[in-house]
Copies of this chain bind each other. A is one copy, B any other.
Amino acid sequence: MAGIIQPKVLKGFRDFLPQMEIPRRKLIRALEDHFTSYGYVPIDTPVLEYAEVLLSKGGGETDKQTYRFNDHGGRDVALRFDLTVPFARYVAAHRNELSIPFKRYHIGKVWRGENTQRGRYREFMQCDFDVIGTDSAAADLEIMLMMAAGLRAIGAGETRIRFSHRGLFNQLLEKLGLEGKTAEVLRIVDKIGKIGAGEVRILLGELVGKEETETLLDFITPAEDNRETLKKMAALAWSEEKDGSAEVRIKTILDAVEKMQLHHNLVLDPSITRGLDYYTGIVFETFLDDMPSLGSVCSGGRYGNLTGLFMKEPVSGVGASIGLDRLMAGLEELGRIDNAASGTDILILMLDEALLARYQILAHGLRQDGLAAEVYPENRKLGAQFKYAEAKGIPLALIVGSEENEAGTVNLKDLGSRESFNGLSFEDARGKALEILGK
């Protein structure tokens, strides 16, 4: 006989107990319903892919964190570390099978061998949604509106979307002759929320001249309202050769949200850059009004070429990604997660094993009226059965012993108020149950 193996999970990985998995599944289903109501369709891709496909961008940090190995056939494979690269590969592979413009969502786990000391998980859930095959302002607007409405739908309350446009930022860098330092400047500016303007001034000063530093700082500082901010951004980035399309795009979005009276949800914030070179148009981050300290729970932007690694014709689009684990943690802290231990409405107690069929028939009848009903599986003491109901948060019990069975009646007990309703017909008990549960 072999020894006992420790039932432990890997660092950074988690088991989900029912009281966490139930709200997680609810959240995912609410998001699925939300995306469907906007015409977005679900896709799925393999968890495991050729390493060449996933790592072709060669991002240093990502490469190091990716779970990569050789499979039985000696293939160099890896676990996906995000849902963006698989989506690019998917679009390239199926471009003739998709309706373009293509609106999709994808909810799934991804894996990164990150340092768990920073409270990060190595297995976590992402939720991505994109519209590809169009460069329109309508798509930009829709992604941001859908995001805000989605967060509202799952109980996260009101949100503030901070957005900007990479086109204007790049225009400014060009004007300042800094286009060769784009990546570094972006990286520094992207940190402003964490390190503050003072620190950003110091870091920029080490990279570019004093005057350029001040111009950059001026540019990334919002004015008193969106219109003023846009005016300042446009003026600083202005140059004769440019067509002003970025300015027009921002204006179109501001016009629309004002008409929809949603302008309080959208803040033009030129310090938002989203680091990555990948983005070419609008970029945004989303903060919960009730918990801005949580950081951005949903970020994204417009890209000019999603599929560059896999096909010649560029495919542009706009999309965003929700970090579901961070969002869940935030909702839990805000007390917005209902940690139900089960979805059961009514427990049918087992008083007599000979009544097995009767209990199952009763349960079946209750389910037909939309009540979640379960039969306690053993003839144990009533105390144990009530304790089970309490642990699972079950509000009602149906009690039928041999006496009630012969009389053709049932007893219903409200486990919250401890009130009993005895000698009822099944129909009356079912009606009473629906009434107590407010169904």
> A residues engaging B (CB < 8 A)?
2, 4-11, 13-18, 21-22, 24-25, 29, 32, 36-50, 52-53, 56, 64-65, 67, 69-73, 75, 77, 79, 89-90, 92-94, 97-99, 101, 103-104, 109, 111, 113, 123, 131, 134, 136-139, 141-142, 145, 149, 252, 255-260, 309-312, 341-344, 347, 350, 353, 356-361, 363-364, 367, 371-379, 388, 391-392, 394
Residues of B contacting A40 with CB < 8 Å?
Answer: 374
Decide: B103 and A255 in contact? CB cutoff 8 A. no
* A381 CB to nearest B CB, Å: 14
Decide: A5 and B310 in contact? CB cutoff 8 A. yes
**For A48, A90, A367, which residue has the most chain B Cβ atoms within 10 angstroms?**
A48
* A47 CB to nearest B CB, Å: 6
Decide: B101 and A378 in contact? CB cutoff 8 A. yes
* A10 CB to nearest B CB, Å: 6
**For A8, A97, A252, which residue has the most chain B Cβ atoms within 10 angstroms?**
A8
Decide: B39 and A2 in contact? CB cutoff 8 A. no
Q: How far is the CA of A379 from the CA of B101 in the complex (A)?
A: 12
| 5 tightest Cβ-Cβ pairs between the two chains A and B | A39-B374, A69-B69, A259-B357, A18-B41, A13-B46
* A135 CB to nearest B CB, Å: 8
Decide: B356 and A137 in contact? CB cutoff 8 A. yes
Decide: B97 and A17 in contact? CB cutoff 8 A. yes
Q: How far is the CA of A347 from the CA of B259 in the complex (A)?
A: 21
Ordered by A's residue number, 26 sampled pairs between the chains whose C-beta atoms are within 8 Å are A4-B311, A5-B52, A6-B310, A7-B92, A7-B310, A7-B311, A17-B43, A21-B44, A25-B32, A29-B29, A37-B367, A37-B372, A38-B372, A39-B343, A39-B347, A41-B392, A47-B123, A48-B79, A99-B341, A99-B392, A131-B377, A139-B377, A139-B378, A142-B377, A252-B356, A255-B356
* A311 CB to nearest B CB, Å: 6
Known contacts A4-B310, A138-B356; decide if A39 and B256 are in contact (CB<8 Å).
no
**Contacting residue for A309 out of B4, B252, B388, CB 8 A:** B4
Known contacts A22-B42, A343-B36, A373-B39; decide if A255 and B357 are in contact (CB<8 Å).
yes
Known contacts A10-B48, A48-B10, A93-B7; decide if A71 and B39 are in contact (CB<8 Å).
no
Decide: B14 and A43 in contact? CB cutoff 8 A. no
Q: How far is the CA of A277 from the CA of B185 in the complex (A)?
A: 64
**Contacting residue for A138 out of B43, B75, B378, CB 8 A:** B378
Decide: A50 and B10 in contact? CB cutoff 8 A. yes
Residues of B contacting A341 with CB < 8 Å?
Answer: 41, 99
Oligomer: number of copies: 2
Q: How far is the CA of A64 from the CA of B6 in the complex (A)?
A: 23
- Chain A interface mostly: mixed
* A430 CB to nearest B CB, Å: 14
Decide: B46 and A14 in contact? CB cutoff 8 A. yes
Known contacts A99-B391, A360-B260; decide if A138 and B353 are in contact (CB<8 Å).
yes
Q: How far is the CA of A71 from the CA of B68 in the complex (A)?
A: 8
Residues of B contacting A10 with CB < 8 Å?
Answer: 46, 48-50, 71, 75, 77
* A65 CB to nearest B CB, Å: 8
**Contacting residue for A260 out of B79, B104, B256, B361, CB 8 A:** B361
**Chain B residue, CB-CB nearest to A36:** B343
**Chain B residue, CB-CB nearest to A50:** B10
Residues of B contacting A18 with CB < 8 Å?
Answer: 41-43, 104
Residues of B contacting A38 with CB < 8 Å?
Answer: 363, 367, 372-374
* A204 CB to nearest B CB, Å: 31
Residues of B contacting A149 with CB < 8 Å?
Answer: 364
Q: How far is the CA of A388 from the CA of B43 in the complex (A)?
A: 18
Q: How far is the CA of A41 from the CA of B367 in the complex (A)?
A: 16
* A194 CB to nearest B CB, Å: 26
**Contacting residue for A15 out of B46, B64, B136, B309, CB 8 A:** B46
